[in-house]
Amino acid sequence: KQEVTQIPAALSVPEGENLVLNCSFTDSAIYNLQWFRQDPGKGLTSLLLIQSSQREQTSGRLNASLDKSSGRSTLYIAASQPGDSATYLCAVSFRGGGGADGLTFGKGTHLIIQP
Amino acid sequence: DTGVSQDPRHKITKRGQNVTFRCDPISEHNRLYWYRQTLGQGPEFLTYFQNEAQLEKSRLLSDRFSAERPKGSFSTLEIQRTEQGDSAMYLCASSSQGYYNSPLHFGNGTRLTVT
């Protein structure tokens, strides 16, 4: 079964710290991996998309890496701010996965940045 | 680009009633997806459309669920004879082409509560 796992489930850090969120997936045959942010009661905001041929993507203070062979991705957040508090979701588009182009999501990491 | 719009934001209904949700994707996007998210979980794929054609449905989409996209623009998701287990956030997303090339853009969702 194709699954996506995120560790930790929750994380609380003081403002200003750099932090890493982890995502692992069970099948290396993927089209791409996407990181999303979700605020309480809201939809998902796309942060970064990494194609299967890429190793990393950067946007502002965010950097996402992809290692297909080990089935892992990390989301690095530099100089965290209270506004970064949200749930961060990792999603993978598996080749031959359910829903053709459908994404398989992890359960997310609930991040709290303490002012 | 006004983003993906979903209506209503919240719906409370009694068990056994029918409900219908609407999604308006980003105007130039030809792909539209429906996902369902329960508390503490990542979204789960339900179905997707390319233009007006419904190309795939998840096994999660029982025969009480039906989705349409009649003119390749907005989409509706209907649930007949609602059950308490249908209570969830229903998310719509759109993308401009083959998913592996572009990220999904999500709406803010419709939260359904079945009493």
Strand partners, A51: A32
Q: Residue A46: which of B48, B91, B103 has the nearest Cβ?
A: B103
- pLDDT at residue B55, as a whole number: 86
Nearest to B82 by CA among B34, B115, B45: B115
Q: Which residues of A touch B93 (CB under 8 A)?
A: 44
**B45 with A4: Cβ contact below 8 A:** no
Whether residue B23 has pLDDT greater than 80? yes
Q: What is the pLDDT of residues A59-102, one digit of tens each?
A: 999 999 999 999 999 999 999 999 999 999 999 988 765 445 57
- pLDDT at residue A95, as a whole number: 77
| Residue B30: other Cβ atoms inside 10 A | 16
Please name the amino acid found at residue A22: N
Rounded distance, CA A97 to CA B91, Å? 20
Rounded distance, CA A76 to CA A22, Å? 9
Whether residue B25 has pLDDT greater than 90? yes
- The distance of B15 to chain A (nearest Cα, Å) reads 23
Reduced to 3 states, what is the DSSP secondary structure of residue A12? strand
Rounded distance, CA B115 to CA B110, Å? 16
